[in-house]
Amino acid sequence: MTKFALDSLDLAALLASRVCHDVISPVGAIVNGLEVLEEEKDAEMRGHALALIKSSAAEASSRLQFCRLAFGAAGSKGSSIDTGDAEHVTRQLLADERTRIEWSVPRVLMAKNKVKLLLNLCLVADAAVPRGGDISVSAKGDGDEIAFHIEAKGTNARLAPGLASLLIGEPEEGVIDARSIQAYYTGLIARSCDLEISLALAGDVVTIDAKPLTLEAEQLQSAVA
225 residues of the chain, pLDDT tens digit each: 447 888 999 999 999 999 999 999 999 999 999 999 998 888 899 999 999 999 999 999 999 999 999 998 765 556 899 999 999 999 999 988 899 999 999 999 999 999 999 999 999 999 999 999 999 999 999 888 999 999 999 999 999 999 999 999 999 888 899 999 999 999 999 999 999 999 999 999 999 999 998 644 554 455 545
What pLDDT was estimated at residue 137? 98
Domain-located, residue 152: yes
Whole-structure pTM value? 0.89
Q: What is the pLDDT of residues 172-211, one digit of tens each?
A: 888 899 999 999 999 999 999 999 999 999 999 999 999 9
Q: Determine the Cα–Cα distance for residues 46 and 66; give it in Å rounded to an integer.
A: 30
Within a domain: 219: no
CA–CA separation, 203 and 123 (whole Å): 20
Structural domain of 40: 8-212
User: Is 218 contained in some domain?
Assistant: no
In a domain, 13, yes or no: yes
Question: What's the CA gap between 179 and 176, in Å, rounded?
Answer: 8
Q: How confident is the model at residue 215, as a pLDDT? A: 45
The 3-class secondary structure across 8-70, one letter per residue, is HHHHHHHHHHHHHHHHHHHHHHHHHHHHHHHHCCCHHHHHHHHHHHHHHHHHHHHHHHHHHHH
Q: Which CATH number characterizes residue 32's domain?
A: 3.30.565.10
Residue 221 falls within a domain, yes or no? Answer: no
Q: How many CB atoms within 10 Å of residue 151?
A: 20
Percent of the chain with pLDDT over 70: 92
Is residue 101 one of the residues assigned to a domain? yes
Number of folded domains that form the chain = 1
Q: Is residue 220 part of a domain?
A: no
Q: Let me know if residue 175 belongs to a domain.
A: yes
